[in-house]
Amino acid sequence: MIAVLIGGLAGTVAWLYARAEVSTVGEVDFAQRLSVPAEAKSRVAKDGTRVFDLDMRAGETEFRPGQKTPTWGFNGSYLGPTLRAERGEKVRVNVDNGLEEASTVHWHGMHLPARMDGGPHQMVEPGGSWSPQWKIDQPASTLWYHPHPHGKTEQHVQKGLAGMFILDDKKAAKLPLPDRYGVNDVPVMVQDVRFDGAKFDHGHGMMQNTGFLGDRTMVNGTLAPYHQVKDEAIRLRLLNASTARVYNFGFADDRDFALVGTDGGLLEKPAEMNRLKLSPGERAEVVVRMKPGERTVLRSYPYEAGDFWSNRFGGADDSFDVMELRADKQLRPAPELPDRLADRLEVPDGKGEIASERSFDLQTSGINGKPMKMDRIDATVTRGSTEIWNVRNIDGTQHNFHVHDVQFRILELNGRRPPEHLRGPKDTVFVPGGTTVKLALSFTGPADPDVPYMYHCHLLAHEDGGMMGQFVVVEPGQGAGKVPGHHDHH
């Protein structure tokens, strides 16, 4: 009897194991032109502030002909326009919530005051509005925006609420990098999806401990996309906008590409590579060179996630044909990349005074053994100080770590200097099983003892489940204030 049960269980596990691997390699027809999100319209107010309008709304999107999928979007039915501003500008975004439930808009990667951050303490009620404003004070970079309501972030992002926020600066604008938006400087927001008839199927698979894993990918909301390339070099602004899936990008012909930027801006110098891993929330700017008339496919390859179990049930064995690049018969010439992109990175190198060294142990059940609590401040940091944060995966499940408000430098990965793709400014870092990262972060303020910023796992089901903590930035000698436990949106 027991033997039959065990045999049956083993059979079920074997069946689930075989079924868990997903591949779309060689199966995608690339029949749809890549959709490029519009650049958001803005106006400049009398005081010089650049003003954007974003409204969250429900709608329907025809990803496949004749199939209307219920979705959410900003200023449209799915995803949102690309916001764009320059360093030194003041910006304001008028956010209107046209949904039937409360949500928020978080500016991922942005350095800004805590009450403008759009975390779970800045809920926007249905029919309500919110107008955060701040001054852009960080280098040119590829940031993004998405909701951050506590416990519901996965659902709100999956329904379609996400968009890019590109920052420019005068130094970066002078570099010979491809910069024609949508032509040779292209947002590539990658999401995995699964359909159940016309609808999205957001169910988590059996034994999948990282959250939702889809069976196919979209770029900017386009299934099976191709992009027509008109220049010898094209810059792709890669964003992993998936809720749990990690991508290991490369090209089907294994060509090299140049990594020029990470989450928070340009690297000191371009780095040639043929694989690049991005966990949810991470970005990378890469420049790919093309020859006239050729085609190549952006692919996601299997990677090592730690153990056998994570590899199969965490999606690391999966592979996807993500997007095809099709070069015109004649291409506009593009200059070689410069040897240097930035004089110095605006992230601390860990060599100056360190005010505090902290540990963050990651487990699905919570960070440092505690699930998120809205009225508990987990860390109080002093404005103007630099800290070292040691982040450790202690449960073997794949996680990553995202810190609001700051860009950090990864000093060490498992005790060693990190590889090139982790040497730029970062706000999110992949921390698979058995991994420790040592980060240097500077908190430049402003101080606000009453409103916290978040740090959390950006695998959204983990974040929603409590893998999140809160920190406040205070003036020297000041303590943390009181943070409300509940938002008043009943």
Chain residues binding Cu ion by CB under 5 A are: 399, 457, 459, 462
- Which residue's CB is nearer to Cu ion, number 391 or number 457? 457
* Nearest approach, Cβ of residue 329 and Cu ion (Å): 46
Residue with tokens 């740090």: 455
- Which residue's CB is nearer to Cu ion, number 191 or number 220? 191
- The secondary structure of 219-239 as a DSSP string is ETTEESEEEEEEESEEEEEEE
- Which residue's CB is nearer to Cu ion, number 51 or number 394? 394
- Which residue's CB is nearer to Cu ion, number 399 or number 423? 399
* Nearest approach, Cβ of residue 106 and Cu ion (Å): 17
* Nearest approach, Cβ of residue 462 and Cu ion (Å): 3
- Which residue's CB is nearer to Cu ion, number 379 or number 457? 457
* Nearest approach, Cβ of residue 443 and Cu ion (Å): 24
Residue with tokens 């939702």: 212
* Nearest approach, Cβ of residue 210 and Cu ion (Å): 7
| Exposure b/e, 124-138, CB count within 10 A at least 16 = b | bbeeeebebbbebeb
What is the rounded distance in angstroms from the CA atom of residue 128 to the CA atom of residue 150?
18
* Nearest approach, Cβ of residue 439 and Cu ion (Å): 17
What is the rounded distance in angstroms from the CA atom of residue 450 to the CA atom of residue 475?
12
What is the rounded distance in angstroms from the CA atom of residue 72 to the CA atom of residue 62?
13
* Nearest approach, Cβ of residue 243 and Cu ion (Å): 11
- Which residue's CB is nearer to Cu ion, number 451 or number 461? 461
- Indicate the length of the chain as a whole number: 490
Quick one: residue 182, left, alpha or beta (phi over 0 = left, psi -120 to 50 = alpha)? left
Tokens of 425: 């400014």
Bridge partners (DSSP) of residue 51 are: 43, 92
Quick one: residue 307, left, alpha or beta (phi over 0 = left, psi -120 to 50 = alpha)? beta
Q: Are strands 295-300 and 247-251 parallel, antiparallel or unpaired?
A: antiparallel
Query: Which candidate, 94, 95, 134, 130, places its Cα nearest to that of 111?
Result: 134
- Which residue's CB is nearer to Cu ion, number 165 or number 212? 212
